[in-house]
Amino acid sequence: MCGIIGCVGRDDTVETLLNGLSNLEYRGYDSAGLAIGGGNLEVTKKQGELENLRAELDNNESSVSGTVGIGHTRWSTHGPPSDRNSHPHTDSDNRVSVVHNGIIENYQSIRDELTTEGITFTSDTDSEVVPHLIAGYLDDGLNPQAAFEKAVERIEGSYALAVIIEGTDAIFAVRNDSPLVVGAGDSAYFLGSDVPAFLDYTRDVVYLDNGEFAILRPDGWTISNQEGDNVTKNPKTVEWTAEQTGKSGYSHFMLKEINEQPTSLRQCISGRVDELKDAVVVEELDHLSHVDRVQFVACGTSYHAALYGAELLRDRDINSKAYLASEYATAPAPVTKATLVVGVTQSGETADTLSALREAQNRGAQTLALTNVVGSTAARECDHVLYIRAGPEIGVAATKTFSSQLVTLNLLVEHLARGRGRSTTNYELITALRNLPNQVQHVLDESNAQEVVDEYVGDNAFFFIGRGLNFPVALEGALKFKEITYEHAEGFAAGELKHGPLALVTANTPIFAVVTGDDERAQKTIGNIKEVEARDAPVVLITDGETEAERYADHVLEIPDSHQRVSPMLANVQLQLVAYHMADRFGRDIDKPRNLAKSVTVE
Task: For residue 252, give the CATH number of its domain.
Answer: 3.40.50.10490
pLDDT given for residue 416 in this prediction: 92
Any idea which of 215-224, 277-286, 310-319, 477-486 has the lowest mean pLDDT? 277-286
Pick the last residue of a domain from 208, 242, 276.
242
Residues 219 and 262 occupy one common structural domain: no
pLDDT given for residue 422 in this prediction: 57
Residues 221 and 259 occupy one common structural domain: no
Average pLDDT of 353-361? Answer: 96
pLDDT given for residue 26 in this prediction: 65
Amino acid, single-letter form, for residue 432: A
405, 370 contact by CB (below 8 A): yes
Average pLDDT of 376-398? Answer: 91
Average pLDDT of 539-550? Answer: 94
pLDDT given for residue 2 in this prediction: 80
Residues 79 and 212 occupy one common structural domain: yes
Average pLDDT of 323-335? Answer: 92
pLDDT given for residue 330 in this prediction: 87
Residues 456 and 556 occupy one common structural domain: yes
Query: How sure is the predictor about 257, in pLDDT bands with cuts at 50, 70 and 90?
Result: very high
Average pLDDT of 334-349? Answer: 95
Q: Give the separation between CA 45 and CA 31, rounded to whole angstroms.
A: 7
Query: How sure is the predictor about 281, in pLDDT bands with cuts at 50, 70 and 90?
Result: confident
Mind giving me the DSSP string for 519-585?
SHHHHHHHHHHHHHHTTT--EEEEE-S-SSGGGG-SEEEE-----TTTHHHHHHHHHHHHHHHHHHH
Pick the last residue of a domain from 199, 223, 242.
242
376, 347 contact by CB (below 8 A): yes
pLDDT given for residue 490 in this prediction: 96
pLDDT digits (tens, 9 = 90+) for 47-58: 988 999 999 998
Q: Which residue has the higher pLDDT, 64 or 272?
A: 272
Of residues 463, 440, 445, the one with CA closest to residue 568:
440
Average pLDDT of 233-255? Answer: 80
Residues 155 and 186 occupy one common structural domain: yes
pLDDT digits (tens, 9 = 90+) for 8-17: 999 899 999 9
Highest mean pLDDT among 1-10, 232-241, 303-312, 416-425: 303-312
State percent of the chain over pLDDT 90: 70
pLDDT given for residue 599 in this prediction: 63
Of residues 242, 240, 214, 253, the one with CA closest to residue 70:
214
Residues 125 and 258 occupy one common structural domain: no
Catalytic residue status for 382:
no
Q: What is the pLDDT of the chain when averaged over all its residues?
A: 91
Query: How sure is the predictor about 243, in pLDDT bands with cuts at 50, 70 and 90?
Result: low
Query: How sure is the predictor about 297, in pLDDT bands with cuts at 50, 70 and 90?
Result: very high
Pick the last residue of a domain from 242, 262, 296.
242
Among residues 45, 400, 592, 598, the one annotated as catalytic is 598
Helix (H) or strand (E) holding 124: none
Among residues 2, 268, 299, 382, the one annotated as catalytic is 2
- Asked if residue 274 has pLDDT above 80, the reply is no
- Asked if residue 30 has pLDDT above 90, the reply is no
Q: Give the separation between CA 526 and CA 548, rounded to whole angstroms.
A: 8
Q: Give the separation between CA 262 and CA 400, rounded to whole angstroms.
A: 9
pLDDT digits (tens, 9 = 90+) for 410-469: 999 999 988 666 555 578 899 999 999 999 999 999 999 999 999 999 898 999 999 999
- Asked if residue 79 has pLDDT above 80, the reply is no
417 contacts: CB under 8 Å, gap ≥ 6 = 313, 316, 318, 423, 425
- Please calculate the CA angle 74-592-390 and round it to the nearest 5 degrees: 105
Any idea which of 217-226, 276-285, 287-296 has the lowest mean pLDDT? 276-285
Torsion angle of the four alpha carbons 22, 24, 30, 35, in this order, in degrees rounded to the nearest 10: -70
- Asked if residue 393 has pLDDT above 90, the reply is no
pLDDT digits (tens, 9 = 90+) for 122-154: 999 999 999 999 999 999 999 999 999 999 999
Write phi, then psi, for 164 (nearest 5 degrees). Answer: -120, 150
Residues 468 and 404 occupy one common structural domain: no
DSSP-derived 3-state class of residue 391: coil
Residues 54 and 176 occupy one common structural domain: yes
Of residues 584, 586, 514, the one with CA closest to residue 543:
514
- Asked if residue 31 has pLDDT above 60, the reply is yes
pLDDT given for residue 278 in this prediction: 74
pLDDT given for residue 59 in this prediction: 84
Average pLDDT of 178-192? Answer: 92
Query: Checking DSSP bridges between strand 189-192 and strand 181-184, what pairing results, if any?
Result: antiparallel
Which residues constitute the domain of residue 154?
A: 3-242
- Where would I find the H helices in 399-536? 400-419, 427-446, 449-454, 470-485, 520-533
pLDDT digits (tens, 9 = 90+) for 94-127: 999 999 988 888 999 999 999 999 999 999 999 9
pLDDT digits (tens, 9 = 90+) for 479-521: 999 999 999 999 999 998 889 888 889 889 999 999 999 999 9
542, 574 contact by CB (below 8 A): yes
DSSP-derived 3-state class of residue 517: coil
Average pLDDT of 299-328? Answer: 96
Residues 391 and 474 occupy one common structural domain: no
Q: The domain spanning residue 45 has which CATH number? A: 3.60.20.10
Average pLDDT of 277-290? Answer: 85
Write phi, then psi, for 96 (nearest 5 degrees). Answer: -125, 135
Number of domains in the chain: 3
Residues 219 and 287 occupy one common structural domain: no
Burial of residue 66 (CB within 10 Å: 0-12, 13-18, 19+) is middle
Amino acid, single-letter form, for residue 523: Q
Residues 77 and 219 occupy one common structural domain: yes
pLDDT given for residue 65 in this prediction: 78
DSSP code of residue 336: -
Q: How far is CA 194 from CA 210, 247, 588, in A?
A: 15, 18, 25
Catalytic residue status for 321:
no
Q: Give the separation between CA 70 and CA 323, rounded to whole angstroms.
A: 38
pLDDT given for residue 307 in this prediction: 98
Q: Give the separation between CA 78 and CA 104, rounded to whole angstroms.
A: 10
Residues 536 and 596 occupy one common structural domain: yes
Amino acid, single-letter form, for residue 374: V
Length of the chain: 603
- Where would I find the H helices in 60-198? 107-116, 129-139, 144-154
Torsion-angle region of 539 (φ positive above 0: left; ψ -120 to 50: alpha; else: beta): beta
DSSP-derived 3-state class of residue 270: coil
